[in-house]
Structure 1
Amino acid sequence: MQLLRVVGFTYGNMVLLSSTIGTGIFVSPKEVLKYCSMNIPIFLSMWAVGGLLSLMNALCLAELATTFPVSGVSYYFLKQSLGYTAAFLSIWIRLFSHILGISAQSLLIATYLIQPFYSGCLAPELPKKCLALSFLWLFGILNAQGIKTVIQFQAIGNLMKMAVLCLISVTGIVLLVTGDKENVTRFENGLDAELPDVSQIVEAFLQVYYSYVGSSLLINIAGEIKNPTNTIPKSLISGLSIVMVFYLLTNISYVAVLTPQEIISSDSVAVTWMYRVFPFIQWATSLGISAAMMNCLSSGLLSGSRIIYAASQDGQLPFIYSMLNDHHNPVVGAILIIILSSIAIIISKLIYLMKYVGLGAWCINFLNMIGLLKMRYQKPNLPRPYKVWLPFVFGTIVLSVFIIFIPVILSPNIEHVYQVVFLFCGLLCYWLQAHFNRHAVCFDTITCYWQLFFNVSPSEDGDNLIPSLNPD
C-alpha cells in the first residue's frame, strides 16, 4: 500500500488554485487595509509584494519537494537535515496551523451562507458554528474517498470561484473607466492617508500571506505528483502568478466601489461589494462564494492528513495514522484533523485565528531554509533535480526573521509569551512521545483494533520511494 501518483500539471494547477484562492481574499482585505492605516497605494502594494515573496518562498520549497518527492516533505526534509527534534516541532506548528486554518475556512463558509438572513446586523454565533461543523465533517467524508475524488470536486469549485472573482474584477475595472468620479477620487486621494509604522506593515503582511499560504499544499502532496521535478516548479510559477493577478484586480474593485471605512466595518467584504453593485443577486453571490471556498476546506484536510501520515511513518505519532484505506488515503489522520478543528471552531474567532496561521508558517519556513543551506553545505553531491537560486533562500530567511521578531521588538505583548509557551509545549510533547515509544508494546493491541475498525493497512516506508536514497 502506498499513496498513488495521480496529480499532473493540470491537476497540480487545479489543486494550487483550490487551496490558495479562498478565505483570504474575502476576509483579509479588511484587516490589511486597517493595518495599512487606510492608505490605498500601500494596501495594494502589500498584495503585490506578498505575492512575489510567496512565490520566492514556494520556489525554495520546490527544491525540497523535488529532492525528496514524498508526502509531508517538510517533515521528512527537516528530519534529514536538522534532526528529529526540529522535525517534530515543525509537525507541532503545522498541525495547529492546519487546525486553525481549517476552522477559519469553515467559519467563513458558514458566515457567507447565514449573513444574508441577518441584513443590517451580525449573524449569531451558534447557528454559524453549527453550520461550520456540518461542513467540516461533510468534507471529512469526501476526503476519505481519496485524492482523485477530492480533485474532481475541486474542479467544480474552481469554476465557481473564478466566475465570482472575474465578475468582481471586471466590474471594478468598468466602474473605474466609465463610472463616477467618486470611484477614481479614492485612488487619487489615497496618498493623503497617514503612513503605517513597521509593526503595522508586519501585521498587514501576515494577513496578506495568509491569502497565499495555500500554495504549500502542492509541496505537502509531493508523493502523489507525477514527474515532480517538472510539475512542481511549473505549477507553482503559473498558479501563483494567476492568483496574484486576481488578488490585485479584486482588491482594486473593492476599493473602487467601497470606501475604506466601509471595507473595515464589513465582516464579508465581497458580500458588501455585491450588495452595493448587484443587490438583486446578493443571495446567489453569497451561495456562490461559499460553494467556491469549500474546495479550500477539502484541500486543507488533504494537506493536514499527509503531514500526520509522514510523521506517523517515522514513529513521531501513533502508527495507526500512517495506515491507508482502500482509496489509498490516510483516513485516520484526517479524522484527527477534523476532531481538533471542531474544537477550534467552538472556542475561537475567525480573524484571531488567521494571524497565528501565518506566524506558524513562517516559523516552519525559517527551519526549512536553515536545513536547506545545511544540506547544500554537507551534501553537495546529493541529487537535486531542481536547485533554487541561492539569493532566494537568503531572502526567505531574512523575511522569516523579520516577520517573526519585529512584532516582538516593536510592540511586545502577552500574546508573544503564549507563542513561546506553545513552542516549549512542543518540546515537552516530543520528550513524552519519545518516552512512550520505548514502552509502546502495550499499544500494539489497541492499534490492531483501530486498524480493524477503520479498515486500513500499513503503507510502504517513504525512504523506499526516494530514488536518491536508493541508488540500486
Structure 2
Amino acid sequence: MGIKEKIFRKESVASYIGQDKKLLKTLTAKDLIGMGIGSVIGSGIFILPGTVAAMHSGPAIILSFVVAALVCSFAAMCYAEFSSALPVAGSAYSFGNIVFGEGIGWFLGWSLIAEYMLAVATVSTSWAAYFNSFIEGFGFKIPTALAGHFDPSHGTYINIIAVLIILSLGILLHRGAHTSMAFNNVMVVVKIAIIVLFLLVGAFYVKPANWTPFLPFGYSGVFTGASLVFFAFLGFDVVSAAAAEVKDPGKNMPKGIIGTLVICTALYILVALVLTGMVSYTKLNVDDPVAFALRMVNQNWMAGILSIGALAGMFTMMITMTYSSSRLIYSISRDGLLPHYFSKVNQTTHNPDRSMWLVIIIIAIMGGTFSMTQLASLVNIGTLFAFACVSLGVIPLRKHPELKQHDGYRVPFYPVLPVISFLLCCFMLSQLSVETWIAAVIWFALGITIYFTYGIHHSRLSQK
C-alpha cells in the first residue's frame, strides 16, 4: 500500500461503535447542555461585552453577538448531524477518519489537542490570578516563588495554584463521566445564578439614553465586533466528544449542541444589553467592565460576587475541555496513531484513566511553568480548522455507505448550509494574525513528524 492510500484509508463506523462500547452511556441532553454552557460561558462574559462595545460596536454589541451566533450556528448544526449519525468518542478526529481518511483525521485530532489543552492551561493561569486576588482580600498571599510561571529573573518558579486546580480536575474526572458532569452541572447553575443576579440588579439602573447612539461605529463596527466576540462561543464543539457516552445520541446530541448555543447567545445578549444600559459604552474599555459598571452605581457587593462567578465559569470550562482532551487522546490511541497504552479503559469507572492522567500532567506542566500568552492563539486556529472540516464533511457523510439512511438529526438546506459554514470558517481563519499562523505551521510540522514517524506505521488500519 502506497503513502497516498495509507493517508486516505478510512475507518468503519461499526468498528468504532464496537470499540466504544467499553464506555458507559450515562449522559443526557441536560448533561450535554451543562457541559456546553460550562465550556462556552467563562469569565469572558464579564469582559467582552464591555470592551468590544467601547472600542468597536457601541450598544449595537448585541447585534455583534447575533451575527457571531449565526456563524457558529451553521457549524453547530454540522456538528449535531455528525454526532447524531456517529455516536463515537473523539469528536472531529473520529468524524474525519470515517469520511476523509486517517491522515485528515489525524490533523483534525492534532488541531483539537492544541485547542483543548492550551485552552485549559491558559484558563488555569487566569483562575489562579482570580483566586490569588480573592484570598488577598482575606489577608492571605501565595509566596512570590509559587505565584507565577518559570521566570527566575522575576523570582517566580511555578504557578502552584494553576497546578493544584488542574490536579483537582484529574481527581474529579477519575470518578467517571457521570460524577464529574453532575459536579459540572452544579457549578453551571451557580454561574448562571450569578449572571441572572447581575441582570436583575443591573436592570434597575438601566438608562435608555445610554443606548443612544445605537450604532456609533456604523454597521462596520457591528461586523468587527462580531469577529471579536465570535471566539466567545467556541467550546460548544466539546459536547460532540461525549457522543459515545450519551443515552439516545440521535436525539440528545443535537439537543445538547444546539441548546448550548441558544442559551449562551441569550445570556451574552442580555448581559450586553444591561451593561450598555447601565453605563455609557464610552466608559467600558476597562479590564473588568461589568464590575466597573456595578461600582459606578454603588453596588460594590455585587462586584465581589462576580469574582465567584468568574471562578465558577473558568472551572466548568476546564472540566469540560479536560474531559474532551482525555476522550480525544483515548480515541487516537485506540486507533494506534498514539501508543495503545493510553486507550485502556478502567473496568470499574468505565473511564479512560491513562489518557486522562496524561492530559492532566501535560496541562499541569504547561499551566504551572509556561507563559501561555503566545501559545493561546493556537486555540483559535485549531478550532476553526476543525469547524471547516466538519462543515465540509457533512457532504461525504450523507453519501457514506454505512450512513446514507441514518435517522438522526440532519442539517437543513443541504448542501448549501454546510458549504456556507465552510466558507465562513475560512473567512474567520483569514482574519487571524501572522503570528498565529506561524505558531500553527510549527504545531502542524510537529504533527506531521509524529504521524509519519510513528502513527502511519502503528495505525490499527495498517494491521488489518
State the TM-score bracket (shorter-chain normalisation).
0.7 to 0.9
Aligned runs of 1:376-415 on 2, under 5 Å? 376-377=398-399, 379=401, 382-385=404-407, 386-389=409-412, 390=414, 391-407=416-432, 413-415=434-436
RMSD: 3.0
Q: 1:101 aligns with which of 119, 128, 136?
A: 119
CA gap of 1:272–1:110, structure 2 versus 1, over 3 A, is farther
Task: Note if 1:264 corresponds to 2:264.
Answer: no
**Which residue of 1 is the match for residue 232 of structure 2?**
211
Q: Which amino acid aligns with 1:52?
A: L
- Cα deviations across residues 406-434 of structure 1 (Å, max 9, x unaligned)? 44xxxx63443332333233222211223
Q: 2: CA distance between counterparts of 1:14 and 1:22?
A: 13
Alignment partner, residue 314 of structure 1: 335
Measured against aligned partners, the alpha-carbon deviations of 1:13-51 in whole angstroms (never above 9, x if no partner) come to 2222222222331343466446xx333144222212222
In structure 2, what is the equivalent of residue 192 of structure 1?
A: 216
- Cα distance 1:191–1:369, how it changes in 2: closer, same or farther (>3 A)? closer
Who is 2:8 aligned against? Answer: none
TM superposition shift of 1:353:
5.5
Alpha-carbon distance between aligned partners in 1 of 2:219 and 2:403, rounded to the nearest angstrom: 49
Contact 1:56 1:396 in 2 (8 A): yes
Q: TM-score, normalised by structure 2?
A: 0.81
Q: Given the superposition, is the C-alpha separation of residues 161 and 406 from structure 1 closer, same or farther in structure 2, using an over 3 Å criterion?
A: closer
CA contact (8 A) 1:160 1:291 kept: yes
CA contact (8 A) 1:305 1:330 kept: yes
Counterparts in 2 of 1:31 and 1:305: CA distance versus 1, 3 Å: farther
Structure 1: give runs of 5+ residues left out of the alignment: 177-182, 441-460, 462-472
Does the 8 Å contact 2:333/2:341 carry over to 1? Answer: yes
CA displacement at 1:400 relative to structure 2: 0.9
Q: Which amino acid aligns with 2:127?
A: I
Query: Quick check: 1:207–1:354 contact (8 Å CA) kept in 2?
Result: no
Deviations 1:78-124 (A, max 9, x none): 112211111110111100111121123222322332335679xxx98
Seen in structure 2, the aligned counterparts of structure 1 residues 291 and 91 have a Cα distance that, compared at 3 Å, is same
Separation (CA, whole Å) in 2 of partners of 1:225 and 1:70: 9
Counterpart position of 2:79 = 61
- Distance (whole Å) between structure 2 residues aligned to residue 380 and residue 41 of structure 1: 49
Structure 1 position 150, deviation (Å): 0.7
How far apart, in 2, do the equivalents of 1:261 and 1:340 lie? Answer: 42
- 1:367/1:190 CA distance change after superposition, 3 Å: same
Answer yes or no: is the 8 Å Cα contact 2:381–2:429 preserved in 1. yes
**C-alpha distance in structure 2 between counterparts of 1:193 and 1:376, whole Å:** 43
Offset at 1:258?
4.2
Q: How far apart are 1:361 and its partner, in Å? A: 0.7
Task: Say if 1:101 and 1:353, in contact at 8 Å, map to a contact too.
Answer: no
Counterpart of 2:423 in structure 1: which amino acid? V
Any gaps of 5 or more consecutive residues in structure 2? Answer: 1-20, 149-158
User: Per-residue displacement from partner, 1:303-332 (whole Å, max 9, x unpaired)?
Assistant: 111111111110011111111122111122
CA distance in 2 between partners of 1:337 and 1:206 (Å): 30
The answer to whether structure 1 residue 24 and structure 2 residue 44 are counterparts is yes
Higher relative helix content:
1
Report Cα offsets for 1:369-413 as digits up to 9, x if no partner.
Answer: 232213334649623222212132112111111111244xxxx63
The 1-side partners of 2:166 and 2:429 are apart by 30
In structure 2, the partner of 1:112 is: 130
Q: Which residue is equivalent to 1:447?
A: none
Q: TM-score, normalised by structure 1?
A: 0.80
Identity of matched residues, %: 22
Change beyond 3 A, Cα 1:11–1:348: same
Distance 2:450 2:345 in 1: 25
Counterpart residue type for residue 188 of structure 1: T
CA distance in 1, matches of 2:310, 2:351: 28
Partner secondary structure for residue 317 of structure 1? coil
In 2, the alpha carbon distance for the partners of 1:11 and 1:418 equals 35
Q: CA 1:232/1:414 → structure 2, altered by over 3 Å: closer, same or farther?
A: closer
SS at match of 1:38: helix
Classify the secondary structure of the residue corresponding to 2:234: helix
Contact 1:161 1:293 in 2 (8 A): no
- Cα shift at 1:157: 0.6
Alignment of 1:345-360 (within 5 A): 345=367, 346-349=369-372, 355-360=377-382
Distance 1:334 1:383 in 2: 35
The one-letter code matched in structure 2 to 1:155 is N
1:330 corresponds to which residue?
352
2:213 maps to amino acid: N
For residue 178 of structure 2, the aligned residue among 124, 136, 148 is 148
State how far apart, in whole Å, the 2-side matches of 1:110 and 1:259 are: 31
Structure-2 residue corresponding to 1:366:
388
Asked whether the equivalents of residues 274 and 285 of structure 1 are also in contact (C-alpha less than 8 Å), the reply is no
Q: What letter matches 1:403 in structure 2?
A: M
Number of paired residues?
Answer: 420
Which of 68, 87, 100 in structure 1 is aligned with 2:105? 87
AA matched with 2:371 = S
Distance 1:23 1:381, change over 3 A: same
Is 1:134 aligned to residue 159 of structure 2? no
Give the CA deviation at 1:367.
1.5
